A and B are shown apart, each in its own frame.
Chain A
Amino acid sequence: MSTAVLQHPPPTTPQRRPLAAKLKAPGWYRVLWTTPLGFGLCYGLVTGIRAVSGYTPVLSGKAITTTSLIGVPFAFLIGLGAFDYWFYWAAGRRTRPEDHSGHGAHSWRDYFRVNTDHKVIGIQYVVNSFFFFLVGGLLAELMRAELASPGAQFMSANSFNELFSVHASLLIFLFIIPVFAGLANFVLPLMIGAPDMAFPRLNALSFWLLPIAGIMMVASFLAPGGAFSTGWTAYAPLSTNVPLGQTFFTIAVQFAGASSIATALNFLVTIITMRAPGMSFFRMPLLVWANFSTSLLVVIATPFIAASQFLVLLDRALGFHFFDAGSGGNVVMYQHIFWFYSHPAVYIMMLPGFGIVSEVLSVKARKPIFGYRMMAFSLLAIVVLGFTVWAHHMFTSGMQAWIRIPMMITTAIIAVPTGIKIFSWLATLWRGILRVDTPMLFVYGFLTMFTLGGISGVMLAMIPIDIHVSGTYFIVAHIHYVLFGGSLFTIFAGVYYWFPKMTGRMYDETLGKLHFWLTFIGFNLTFGPMHILGLQGMPRRVADYASKFAGLNLFISIAAFALGLSTFVFLYNVISSWRGGPRAGANPWRALTLEWQVSSPPPVFNFDTIPTVVGGPYEYGVQDAVHGIFQPAVSAGGGSGGSGGAAGVGGGGDGPAGTAHGPARE
């Protein structure tokens, strides 16, 4: 059923190398001196320029910090070895031939290196994301503690602003967006029958940009004046006038954004150029489709948030006037640029989840996915429509009033492709042979909660309602129903679903179900009442509130603590199962897609020979259905021709009825 697990080459034993060699070789020893050196260079550069230009004071902590935030991460990456190959290449020296020593992980230490194996990078992504998920969640609990009763409990109003700003930024830029990229990083090349991503070194670099961004955001708490406190939206001119902590956000977003764009490029090129023979676009699993669409969104939209933060940085650091109305700048312009990214970004945070749901649902219902092509087309429709709705975030911003009408209409329209997907999933469930285990429970949770979030989204599209509830807890409820009830539930579904594949171990089903029910109930008790609070007019992003809201807020806070505790069930389950869970077979879910046709965890190079795809990915319950077959060894030498021989050896390996019998290649 699987290609044999490749014999791991013996781990390169950490021989005692002289210190000088350690300091020279890529790795943490080199980081130890390149990072301070980078800081020294930034310090010297800024101070030198200020001295030459006659600025007083010559030593400016603000200027040095700003420059170091940009420069030191590069010094760190150079030390770690993220650029070594390119330096060799650029200098025209002989690049070291790829010995694949960067592939696979032999011990936990290998996860702290620049590793070019997409499976290692995928796990790095996921673990890193969940680390910041915990940090972001902790900040939320602190907020709920403050909000447990009216009046100030234990923090200043500004500390509260810092908490919700860092909470949102971490969970959006360091959790939801990258964790999807991480899951796809692990699974996608396997799914399309590729040995790795198209640009493995770029892939490694995109990962290492992320912890930098995350640490920068968290480190902003140490900045004089506190962390950034302008929300994750960082509206100008507020963001151009607050203390230094804001700069940490401005620059951290650049690193997270660059990581995002690089990964998206990588996914697009991988999907377009590295599919297995026979895998036409309409034989791709929907997760691949979802990441294809998401990557398009990222490539086109993410530069806008980069630009918005560049403009803020220029205003902050060099005294530009992009957002200074007194000098001819325009503050609404910030919101337009920001939301032109950040509305597509909500689809960047949702479409990969749609992909996960399609995978899990079809396998667990033992039925072909309903309306496969419409599922794919609706993803593309969301990509296109996603760019036409940004100003619905700005109905109360003071922009030209007429823009609100077309934005209301497009926003209502974009619910249509989303509705197509929801109904297709429901139709997939119809008369399926349902296996309701943990991943499936989370899919159910997603279907119900995301639909609720989607409905409140359509409500918010209506201008009068939006104006009424703008800036209230209704918005908080809505965004958490789509991002927590939507995205996070699909993330949990995906993590449980691919856990056996990623770790080679099975998670504990009972604990998984317990985790789901605690999360599901805790989530609804926490965020459900916020709808009511919002309609009654309780403003969001404020540390204090009127005493009439006290009862519900105490209730929400208690529920939020319970919800937080449910995470420990997940953590315990994942950690203990990873360390000592029962071994998982290659294909515990009896799934058709290619990642399940190799051992768990997959061999170092994924496949001995590239499989040939002969049918659709979701032909469950169809007699003799086959998605991919492995070629016999004899044709391995011939590379990946995917020619006639492959189909013949299948022994009934003909595609199922109803699948397009196209030629092996388009």
Chain B
Amino acid sequence: MEAASVSIPVEHDDHHHGPPEANRSSRVDPQLLGMLLFIISEVMLFAAFFTAYFFLRVVNHDAWPAKGTSLPIPVAGTNAAILLSSSLTMHWALTSAKGGNRRGMKTGLLMTFLLGMTFLTVQINEYVHIGFAPHDTAQGSIFYGLTGLHGAHVFIGLTLLLFANVRAFRGHFSPEAHRGVEIPGIYWHFVDIMWVVVYSTVYLL
């Protein structure tokens, strides 16, 4: 009979109250990998919304934007610049956290948060003044659908950044332990890159 396993009689330590340390079979950090996989699924979520957009433009050959409406390209472009610059401050915060520069980390996190808030405010203001509603036309639905989906992701990112800010200002994070800055940062960069895609397709294309 094949041996199922060779077991060694082990003196069991009855006071062994924790789980054994898991073997690390990959150099990738589990949290980082989890966030990257989550971002993949987020990208697919956007892809599904983009399907609606491309169906309208490629299959239906409808006008974009709908006749009689226009999109505020410069405003949204400025907003893109705001959001992209927040990626820089985010990176600064992470570099500072790694280098032990607490003040830089806190300032960077706070600035990122405020720039993100500015983006959302401008976006909402744009909605108010844009002159069409989601229930007017399919173009309106798709415009609000895509930008709104992105806005929701900005909101999620801001929530994560808020947590990071709270923790940073309450004295957490160190050059050794800065995952709480790094992981929201990755998500934030994803949100920024996604805006470049949304802006180029919805506003420019």
Chain B positions 138-172 with a Cβ under 8 Å from a chain A Cβ: 138-142, 144-145, 149, 162-163, 166-167, 169-172
Residues of B close to A435: CB separation below 8 A: none
The residue from A100, A276, A299, A639 contacting B37, defined by CB atoms under 8 A apart: A299
| Closest Cβ–Cβ distance, residue A312 to chain B (whole Å) | 12
| Closest Cβ–Cβ distance, residue B130 to chain A (whole Å) | 15
Residues of B close to A315: CB separation below 8 A: 141
Contact with A along B1-25 (1 / 0, CB 8 A): 1111111101111101111111111
Instruction: Find out whether the CB atom of A300 lies under 8 angstroms from the CB atom of B2.
Output: no
Residues of A close to B8: CB separation below 8 A: 629-633, 649
Residues of A close to B167: CB separation below 8 A: 89-90, 92
Residues of B close to A629: CB separation below 8 A: 5-8
Contact with A along B86-125 (1 / 0, CB 8 A): 0000000000000000000000000000000000000000
Contact with B along A571-610 (1 / 0, CB 8 A): 0000000000000000100111000110000000111111
The residue from B19, B41, B66, B139 contacting A195, defined by CB atoms under 8 A apart: B19
Quick check: is A642 within 8 A (CB to CB) of the other chain? Answer: yes
* Closest partner residue, chain B, to A266 (CB atom): B34
Taken together as a complex, chains A and B put the C-alpha atoms of A169 and B86 apart, in Å, by 43
Residues of A close to B7: CB separation below 8 A: 1-2, 597, 629-630
Report if A587-B4 is in contact (Cβ < 8 Å); known contacts: A7-B14, A276-B23, A318-B134. Answer: yes
Instruction: Find out whether the CB atom of B6 lies under 8 angstroms from the CB atom of A626.
Output: yes
* Closest partner residue, chain A, to B60 (CB atom): A330
Instruction: Find out whether the CB atom of A314 lies under 8 angstroms from the CB atom of B141.
Output: yes
Residues of B close to A605: CB separation below 8 A: 18-20
Number of interface residues of A (CB under 8 A): 98
| Closest Cβ–Cβ distance, residue B35 to chain A (whole Å) | 9
The residue from A1, A268, A303, A653 contacting B42, defined by CB atoms under 8 A apart: A303
Instruction: Find out whether the CB atom of A320 lies under 8 angstroms from the CB atom of B135.
Output: yes
Instruction: Find out whether the CB atom of A273 lies under 8 angstroms from the CB atom of B30.
Output: yes
| Closest Cβ–Cβ distance, residue A412 to chain B (whole Å) | 25
Which stretch, B44-52, B68-76, B77-85, touches the partner chain A?
B44-52
Taken together as a complex, chains A and B put the C-alpha atoms of A264 and B52 apart, in Å, by 26
Max chain B CB contacts within 10 Å: which of A9, A303, A596? A303
Instruction: Find out whether the CB atom of A304 lies under 8 angstroms from the CB atom of B33.
Output: no
The residue from B24, B49, B162, B171 contacting A273, defined by CB atoms under 8 A apart: B24
Quick check: is A491 within 8 A (CB to CB) of the other chain? Answer: no
Taken together as a complex, chains A and B put the C-alpha atoms of A119 and B100 apart, in Å, by 41
Instruction: Find out whether the CB atom of A3 lies under 8 angstroms from the CB atom of B45.
Output: no
Residues of B close to A333: CB separation below 8 A: 51-52, 55, 59
Max chain B CB contacts within 10 Å: which of A265, A315, A632, A642? A265
The residue from A4, A6, A620 contacting B2, defined by CB atoms under 8 A apart: A620
Quick check: is B197 within 8 A (CB to CB) of the other chain? Answer: no
Instruction: Find out whether the CB atom of B140 lies under 8 angstroms from the CB atom of A321.
Output: yes
Instruction: Find out whether the CB atom of A274 lies under 8 angstroms from the CB atom of B25.
Output: yes
Quick check: is B126 within 8 A (CB to CB) of the other chain? Answer: no
Taken together as a complex, chains A and B put the C-alpha atoms of A88 and B1 apart, in Å, by 53
Contact with B along A266-278 (1 / 0, CB 8 A): 1011001111110
Instruction: Find out whether the CB atom of B60 lies under 8 angstroms from the CB atom of A314.
Output: no
Residues of A close to B60: CB separation below 8 A: 328, 330
Residues of B close to A596: CB separation below 8 A: 4
The residue from B13, B37, B56 contacting A330, defined by CB atoms under 8 A apart: B56
Quick check: is B177 within 8 A (CB to CB) of the other chain? Answer: no
Instruction: Find out whether the CB atom of B41 lies under 8 angstroms from the CB atom of A299.
Output: yes
| Closest Cβ–Cβ distance, residue B179 to chain A (whole Å) | 11
Residues of A close to B6: CB separation below 8 A: 626, 629, 649-653
Report if A198-B4 is in contact (Cβ < 8 Å); known contacts: A100-B18, A608-B12. Answer: no
Quick check: is A319 within 8 A (CB to CB) of the other chain? Answer: yes
Residues of B close to A627: CB separation below 8 A: 5
Residues of A close to B37: CB separation below 8 A: 264-265, 268-269, 299
Taken together as a complex, chains A and B put the C-alpha atoms of A322 and B11 apart, in Å, by 66
The residue from B16, B24, B144 contacting A608, defined by CB atoms under 8 A apart: B16
| Closest Cβ–Cβ distance, residue A186 to chain B (whole Å) | 16
Taken together as a complex, chains A and B put the C-alpha atoms of A269 and B163 apart, in Å, by 24
Quick check: is A290 within 8 A (CB to CB) of the other chain? Answer: no
Residues of A close to B19: CB separation below 8 A: 100, 103, 195-196, 605-606
Number of interface residues of B (CB under 8 A): 66
Contact with B along A176-213 (1 / 0, CB 8 A): 00000000000000000111101100000000000000
Instruction: Find out whether the CB atom of A300 lies under 8 angstroms from the CB atom of B28.
Output: no
Residues of A close to B48: CB separation below 8 A: 303-304, 306-308, 337, 340
Residues of A close to B33: CB separation below 8 A: 268-269, 272-273
| Closest Cβ–Cβ distance, residue A198 to chain B (whole Å) | 5
Taken together as a complex, chains A and B put the C-alpha atoms of A303 and B135 apart, in Å, by 24
* Closest partner residue, chain B, to A262 (CB atom): B38
Quick check: is A509 within 8 A (CB to CB) of the other chain? Answer: no
Report if A274-B23 is in contact (Cβ < 8 Å); known contacts: A199-B34, A269-B34, A649-B8. Answer: yes
Residues of B close to A590: CB separation below 8 A: 1-2, 4
The residue from B45, B62, B172 contacting A306, defined by CB atoms under 8 A apart: B45
Quick check: is A345 within 8 A (CB to CB) of the other chain? Answer: no
Instruction: Find out whether the CB atom of A322 lies under 8 angstroms from the CB atom of B52.
Output: yes
Residues of A close to B52: CB separation below 8 A: 311, 322, 330, 333, 337
Instruction: Find out whether the CB atom of A621 lies under 8 angstroms from the CB atom of B18.
Output: no
Instruction: Find out whether the CB atom of A642 lies under 8 angstroms from the CB atom of B23.
Output: yes
| Closest Cβ–Cβ distance, residue A482 to chain B (whole Å) | 25
Residues of B close to A261: CB separation below 8 A: 38, 41
Instruction: Find out whether the CB atom of B4 lies under 8 angstroms from the CB atom of A100.
Output: no
The residue from B24, B62, B166 contacting A92, defined by CB atoms under 8 A apart: B166
The residue from A274, A300, A322, A592 contacting B40, defined by CB atoms under 8 A apart: A300
Quick check: is A510 within 8 A (CB to CB) of the other chain? Answer: no
Residues of A close to B18: CB separation below 8 A: 100, 605
* Closest partner residue, chain A, to B180 (CB atom): A89
Instruction: Find out whether the CB atom of A100 lies under 8 angstroms from the CB atom of B10.
Output: no
Instruction: Find out whether the CB atom of A626 lies under 8 angstroms from the CB atom of B3.
Output: yes
Contact with B along A260-297 (1 / 0, CB 8 A): 01001110110011111101000000000000000000
Taken together as a complex, chains A and B put the C-alpha atoms of A327 and B135 apart, in Å, by 9
Residues of B close to A401: CB separation below 8 A: none
Give A contacts to B, CB under 8 Å: 1-4, 6-7, 9, 89-92, 100, 103, 193-196, 198-199, 261, 264-266, 268-269, 272-277, 279, 299-304, 306-308, 310-311, 314-315, 318-322, 324, 327-330, 332-333, 336-337, 340, 587, 590-592, 596-597, 605-611, 619-633, 636, 639-640, 642, 649-653, 665
A-B contact pairs, 30 of them (CB 8 A): A3-B12, A7-B14, A90-B166, A100-B18, A103-B19, A261-B38, A268-B37, A273-B26, A274-B24, A300-B44, A304-B48, A306-B45, A319-B135, A321-B137, A322-B52, A328-B56, A328-B138, A329-B141, A330-B56, A330-B138, A337-B52, A340-B48, A592-B5, A619-B2, A623-B2, A628-B5, A633-B11, A636-B20, A649-B6, A653-B6
Give B contacts to A, CB under 8 Å: 1-8, 10-14, 16-26, 28, 30, 33-34, 37-38, 40-42, 44-45, 47-49, 51-52, 55-56, 59-60, 62, 66, 134-142, 144-145, 149, 162-163, 166-167, 169-172
Q: A3-B12, A92-B167, A310-B49 are in contact. List 7 more A-B contacts (CB 8 A).
A: A299-B41, A303-B42, A321-B134, A322-B141, A330-B55, A330-B59, A649-B6
Top 3 closest A-B pairs, CB basis? A307-B48, A328-B138, A92-B170
